Structure 1
Amino acid sequence: MKKTFHLTHPKLSVPRHVDAIKHEVKKYIRRERNKALPENADFWDFDCRFGTDEASCEVIHLSEINKKISEIEAQQLESFYLEILAKPGKKPV
């Protein structure tokens, strides 16, 4: 998922729209985790980047996504960019 989310919506209030965005992100992660794993993989790992736009993205951990979205809402910015890429992960031996 590489997407720019806009916090303005003609029919929804900002807090309600932010909840919808968080739900969309969770749904995407759940969908990716349910895909069949490659033969040599133990789990799905995710590379995440977050920023106000694609050029100013920084790498974040998967668990920080909701916190970052809430920070953008508190700053009253109009949009943000989120990139989540699934990759097979291997447990260290």
Structure 2
Amino acid sequence: MKKIFKLTDEKKHEDRVLEAVKHEIRKYVKREKKKKLEDSQNTYWDFDCKIGPTSESAKVVEYDDLIKALDAVKATGATECYVEILAKVVDKPLKEEVESMEDANN
């Protein structure tokens, strides 16, 4: 999804418009996660996200930080926001790799 969201509306309160944008983003991600994976045992859906006042100034963020970044864009006083979310299939790390990474961190 690549979309420019309006963050202001004459007929609605700014907070309600922002909540509607957040709802649309969450709804899109939920719909993408429902799509069938070829090898559902060893893969999962991950998302590449960009957000910013314009498409040129959009910054790459993790999906977990997307909503916080949207609030930050709104706090700057922007009237619109560019959001890009691209779904991708990612292989789950093997259990042995996860354990070795945890041992390396300790």
Letter in 2 for 1:30: K
Q: Secondary structure at the match of 1:83?
A: strand
Structure 1 CA distance, aligned partners of 2:27 and 2:56?
Answer: 25
TM-score (norm. length: structure 2): 0.81
Give 4+ residue runs of structure 1 displaced > 2 Å after superposition.
38-41
- What's the Cα RMSD here? 1.3
Kindly indicate whether the alpha-carbon contact (under 8 Å) linking 2:5 and 2:82 is maintained by their aligned counterparts in 1.
Answer: yes
Kindly indicate whether the alpha-carbon contact (under 8 Å) linking 1:48 and 1:85 is maintained by their aligned counterparts in 2.
Answer: yes
Q: Secondary structure at the match of 2:67?
A: helix
2:78: which partner in 1? 77
1:29-81 Cα deviation digits (max 9, x unpaired): 00000010123751001111111111111110001111111112222210111
Structure 2 CA distance, aligned partners of 1:89 and 1:4?
Answer: 27
Letter in 1 for 2:6: H
Kindly indicate whether the alpha-carbon contact (under 8 Å) linking 1:38 and 1:88 is maintained by their aligned counterparts in 2.
Answer: no
Q: Secondary structure at the match of 1:92?
A: coil
TM-score (norm. length: structure 1): 0.92
- Structure 1, unmatched stretches of 5+, are none
Higher relative contact order, structure no. (Cα contacts within 8 Å, ≥ 6 residues apart): 1
Q: Which structure's CA Rg is the greater one?
A: 2
Equivalenced residues, count: 93
1:32: which partner in 2? 32
